[in-house]
Structure 1
Amino acid sequence: MVKAELVFVPSPGFGHLVSTVEMAKLLIDRDPHVSITLLIMKPPYVSHSGIDDRTRSLANSMAARFRFVHLPDVGPISETNPSKTRDLYVESYKPHVREAIARLTEPGSGQDSPRLAGLVVDMFCTTMIDVANELRVPSYVFFTSSAAFLGLMFHLQRQRDEQGIDSTEFRNSDTELDFPIFANKLPAKVLPTAYLVKEAAPAYIGHARRFRETKGIFVNTFAELEAHVLESLVDDMIPPVYPVGPILNLTRSTGGPGPSNGLEIMKWLDNQPRSSVVFLCFGSRGSFDADAVREFATALERCGHRFLWSLREPPPKGKVGTPRDYANLEEILPEGFLDRTVKIGKVIGWAPQVDILAHPAVGGFVSHCGWNSTLESIWFDVPIAGLPLYAEQQFNAFEMVVELDLAVEIKMEYRRDVRIQSETRVTAEEIERGIRQVMEIDSARRKKVKEMSEKSRKALDEGGSSCSSLRRLIGDIFNNMPR
C-alpha cells in the first residue's frame, strides 16, 4: 500500500507543539502507512536552549515514522501590533518551509518512501496554505480549540464579508447575539477578546476565510460533547470537520520549577478526603493583582473548603512575559492567611495540573476555561467553576456553563487583557458562591460531568465516535493524495 507523509506546521510555541504532537501520535498509531514530519519554528523572544531541550525530549519519545525538523531563525519583526506580529512572523518562515519540504520530497529516497499527502497547518498558520497550493498538495487545519469557537469564526467571517457586520462594534455592548452554533443567545460581552479589538479582529476573519480553502479541519473535541455545534458545521461552504479529541497530553509531572515540588503537593493531597479539595489554577499565563488575590483569600476563608491554590506573580506592569512563582507568598496574601488556613489549604506556585486533576481528593476546579484545561477537567471528572481571563476563554465558559450545564460561573465576562480597557472586578462573594456550587457533592451537574467524562474516554476507544472520525479522516487523506 502507498505510504503517506503528512507535514505539520504548528504555531511557534511549546503549547501548540505539544497538542500537535498528540494529534500526530493519534494518526501514526492508527495507521502504519502514515508518517509525520513536524516543522518547528523558533518562538520569537525565546532562547534556543529552552525550546530545543523540550522538543528534543518529545522527539526522543517518538517512533521512527515521526520526525522533527528545526527551521532556521528568521530576523526580528518590526511591528507593534501583537496580532500582526504573529502573522508576519509565521509568514517570514515560508521560504524555510518550502525548502524543508523540498528536501523531504527530493527524488532518490527509494521506492518505498512515503509520498507527500498534504500540509496540516495550525489554526494560526493559515498563510502556509499558500505553500501547499504551490506544491499542488492538499492542506488541512489542526484546530486546537473547540468546535464552537470554529463555528463562531466561520459565522463572524461570513457576517463581515456578506453583511458588513464588524464584531468590534459589540465591545462594551449589552447586546445578545443569535448564532446557529448555540441554542441560547450569546451575550456580546463574552465574545473572544480578538473579535472586540480592531487591531486583532481582521486577522481572525482572515484565518476563517483560509480555513474554507482546505480539505478538512481536525478539531480537538468529541461528538458527544458538542453534538449541536458539529451538526451546524455540516455545510457545503465549510470543509469536512473531524472531531478527533479529546487530544490531551496526560504525561505526569513529579517536579516543577521554583519552590513548588510536585511530590510534596501529591503527598499533601494523599492526606485529604476524597473529593474534598477545590483546586484553583489559571494556566501558564494566569495571574492576578493584589486586589484580586485578597478577594480570593477572603472567599476561601469564608467557604471553609479544603483548597489547593496555584498563585503566580504577574509580570511587571507594562512588560510582556509569563507569570512566575512568588518568592514570598506572605507579601501578597492577607496578614495571617497562611496561619489561619494551614489545616485546610495549601498555596503553591507552579502546579502539575494533570496530576492534581487525576487525584481522587480533588472535587472541584476553579479555572480560566482554557480549552485544554476544560477537556482535562472533563476527562478526570472534576467540575469547573469558571473565571475566564483572556483569548476565547469567556466564550468557552459560556458554552460550558449555559449551553452544556457542565460548569458553574464565577464571572463569565471577567477579563485580564491589556487590549480590553475594563475595570471589571471579581468579588469575594462571586468567588465564594462559585466554589460552594462547584463543590456540591450530589448536584445534578456533577452527575452530568461524570457521564461526560465516561463519554470522553469511550470516544477514543475502538468503535468510539472520535476513533471512527479519525479512521474516516485517514481514509480521506489517502483519497485526496495527488496521483
Structure 2
Amino acid sequence: MTSAELVFVPTPGMGHLVSMVEMAKLLVNRDHRLSISVLIMKPPFDSELDSYTSSLAASVDAARIRLIHLPRVNTDTEISSGGFHNRYIESSKPHIKRAVADLADSVGSSRRLAAFVVDMFCTTMIDLAGEFGVPSYVFFTSSAACLGLILHLQSLQDKQHVDITKFKDSATELDFPSFANPLPAKVLPSVVLTKESVQPFLEHAKRIRAIKGIIVNTFAELEPHALGSLAGLEAPTVFPVGPILNLKGETKKKADGGCRGDDIMEWLDEQLPSSVVFLCFGSRGSFREDQVKEIARALERSGHRFLWSLRRPPPKGKVDVPRDYMDPAEVLPEGFLERTASIGRVIGWAPQAAVLAHPAVGGFVSHCGWNSILESIWLGMAVATWPLYAEQQFNAFELVVELGLAVEIKMDYRKDFLMETDIIVAAEEIEDGIRKLMEDVDSERRKKVKEVSEKSRKALAEGGSSFMSLGHLIEDILSNMP
C-alpha cells in the first residue's frame, strides 16, 4: 500500500515546534500509512530550542518521523522590528525548497509526497507546496477564537477598509463573531496594532483562507462558540484535534550529571496538597528588577506557599531568550529569601508540566501562552492570568471572561517586540489575584475547570470529538494525495 509523506514546517520557537512535533507523533501513531519529515529552522538566539531538538531523537519513531535540521541563516539579532520573524522564515525558504526536493527524489514508488503542513506563521510556504504539486494544511497553534479573530480582522481591513491600528490604546469594545462577549480593544494582539506589522500578519489570514484545511490545537467542548463561528468567516475545513500536549516536558542536565528539577519536586513532595502557588511565564517570560520586587512583596504579603520561576531578561535591545540568574538575590528585596525560606522557593527554569501535575500545586500564575493554557486545563489547574506578549492578552480574556476558567491579575499588561514595557503591576494587585486564585477553593470556577479537564481527556479518547476529527483529517489528506 502506498504511504503518504507529509512535510511539516514549524515556526522556529518552542511553543510552535513542540506542539507540531507532538502532532506528528499523533498522526503516525494513528495511521501506519503516514510518515512525516519535520523541517527545523534554527533561530540565531534560542538555545532552549537547540537543546529540545537534540533531545527529540529518543522520543520519535525514526522510521516514521524524520527531523531535518536546516542550515542556520545568519540574521542580525539586534532587531527592533516586529517583522523580524517573517524575514527570518523567508530567508529559510531556499533551504526548505532544497530539503523537499531531496525528499521528493528519495521517495520510492511505495511512498508519495502527500501534503505540506505549515505553521500559522509559515503560510508563504504554501507557494512551495504548489510548486511540488501537493495541497497545504495550516497548523494553528493558538485557539479557535484567535483564528476567528484574525480572519475577522483581515475581512475588516480588506473588505470594509478599517484601519485596525486605530484601536491601539482605545477603550472601545468590539464585536467579534468568534466571541459571545464584546472584546475590549486593549486585549487585541500587539501585532495588529502596529502599522509595520499588521499587514504582514493579516496576509497570513488571507493565505489561510486559500488552503485545504486548518488543524487547530483545541477541542470542540472547550470552544463551541468559536468553532461554530468559523464557517461564517469563510474559513476552510477546520479540524480541532487538541489538546496536543508534551506533558513529559524537557529534561535538563545539571553539571553534576543529575537532572534539573529533581530538587524542585522533592520540595513539593514536602508540601500540603493544593497549598503552593506556581508562577511561571514561559520560554520568553521575564521581568525587570522593579517589577520583580513587586511580585516578591505580593508573595510575601499573601502568606501562601510559592514556587517562582524567575529568569533574567535579555540585554536591553537584544532579541534573545531569558536565562537563569546566578544569584536571584541581586534583584529581590533585601532579606526576601531569608524571610520566605520556610514557605517558598525561587528557582530558574522549571519543568512546568511536572510541577502543574504535582498534588501540592493549587494555582498557576501564567503568561497565558496557549500551550500552557491547554496544559493547565488538562491537569485541572486553576489559573491567574498575567499575559506578556503575542496573543496572550486575548487568551487571558477568553479564559477569564468568555470561558470563566481563570481569575485576572492584569489582563492588559503588554510587552513590545523586544519584551520591554513601562507598565508596573503593583504588589497589591498581584496579591489580590493570588488570594482569589488560592482561596476560592469551592468556587464555580474551580468546578468548571475540573469539568473541562475531564472533557479534554474524553475528546482525545477513542470516539471523542478530537479523535474523530483527527480521523477526518487523515481521510482528507489521503483522498487528496496527488
Q: What's the TM-score once normalised by structure 2's chain length?
A: 0.94
CA 1:330–1:104 in 2, change beyond 3 Å: closer, same or farther? Answer: closer
Q: How does 1:234-253 map to 2 (within 5 A)?
A: 234-235=231-232, 237-252=234-249
Shift of 1:319: 2.7
Tell me if 1:311 matches 2:346.
no
Gaps of 5+ in 1: none
> C-alpha distance in 2, partners of 1:304/1:45?
38
Contact kept in structure 1, 2:393 and 2:413, CA below 8 Å: yes
* 3-state SS of 2:195 partner: coil
**Map of 1:126 onto structure 2:** 123
Residue type at the aligned position of 1:316: P
Contact kept in structure 2, 1:257 and 1:350, CA below 8 Å: no
CA 1:46–1:187 in 2, change beyond 3 Å: closer, same or farther? Answer: closer
> C-alpha distance in 1, partners of 2:354/2:223?
26
Shift of 1:258: 8.6
Q: How does 1:267-306 map to 2 (within 5 A)?
A: 267-306=266-305
Tell me if 1:196 matches 2:193.
yes
**Map of 2:167 onto structure 1:** 170
Paired positions, count: 478
Q: What's the TM-score once normalised by structure 1's chain length?
A: 0.94
> C-alpha distance in 2, partners of 1:225/1:184?
16
Residue type at the aligned position of 2:182: K
Shift of 1:52: 5.7
Shift of 1:316: 2.5
* 3-state SS of 1:36 partner: strand
- The answer to which of 114-123 and 330-339 deviates more is 330-339
Tell me if 1:62 matches 2:60.
yes
> C-alpha distance in 2, partners of 1:106/1:408?
53
- The answer to which of 51-60 and 183-192 deviates more is 51-60
- The answer to which of 162-171 and 68-77 deviates more is 68-77
- The answer to which of 470-479 and 64-73 deviates more is 64-73
Tell me if 1:212 matches 2:202.
no
Contact kept in structure 2, 1:408 and 1:438, CA below 8 Å: yes
Q: How does 1:108-119 map to 2 (within 5 A)?
A: 109-112=107-110, 114-119=111-116
CA 1:406–1:256 in 2, change beyond 3 Å: closer, same or farther? Answer: farther
Gaps of 5+ in 2: none
CA RMSD of aligned residues (A): 2.2
Contact kept in structure 2, 1:194 and 1:201, CA below 8 Å: yes
Shift of 1:35: 0.8
**Map of 2:448 onto structure 1:** 448
Shift of 1:257: 6.2
Give the percent of matched residue pairs that are identical in Structure 1 and Structure 2. 63
**Map of 1:101 onto structure 2:** 100
Tell me if 1:397 matches 2:393.
no
CA 1:140–1:374 in 2, change beyond 3 Å: closer, same or farther? Answer: same
> C-alpha distance in 1, partners of 2:265/2:43?
32
Residue type at the aligned position of 1:35: S
Residue type at the aligned position of 1:381: G
Shift of 1:96: 2.4
Contact kept in structure 2, 1:253 and 1:262, CA below 8 Å: no
Shift of 1:170: 0.6
Which segments of structure 1 move beyond 4 Å, counting only runs of 4 or more?
A: 50-53, 77-81, 252-260, 418-422
> C-alpha distance in 2, partners of 1:352/1:78?
28
C-alpha offsets along residues 263-304 of structure 1, whole Å, 9 cap, x if unaligned?
111011001110111001111111112221221112112211
Contact kept in structure 2, 1:276 and 1:305, CA below 8 Å: yes
* 3-state SS of 1:317 partner: coil
Shift of 1:238: 1.3
Shift of 1:241: 0.8
**Map of 1:372 onto structure 2:** 371
**Map of 1:225 onto structure 2:** 222
* 3-state SS of 1:7 partner: strand
* 3-state SS of 1:23 partner: helix
Contact kept in structure 1, 2:44 and 2:74, CA below 8 Å: no
Shift of 1:165: 0.9
Residue type at the aligned position of 1:188: A
CA 1:451–1:56 in 2, change beyond 3 Å: closer, same or farther? Answer: same
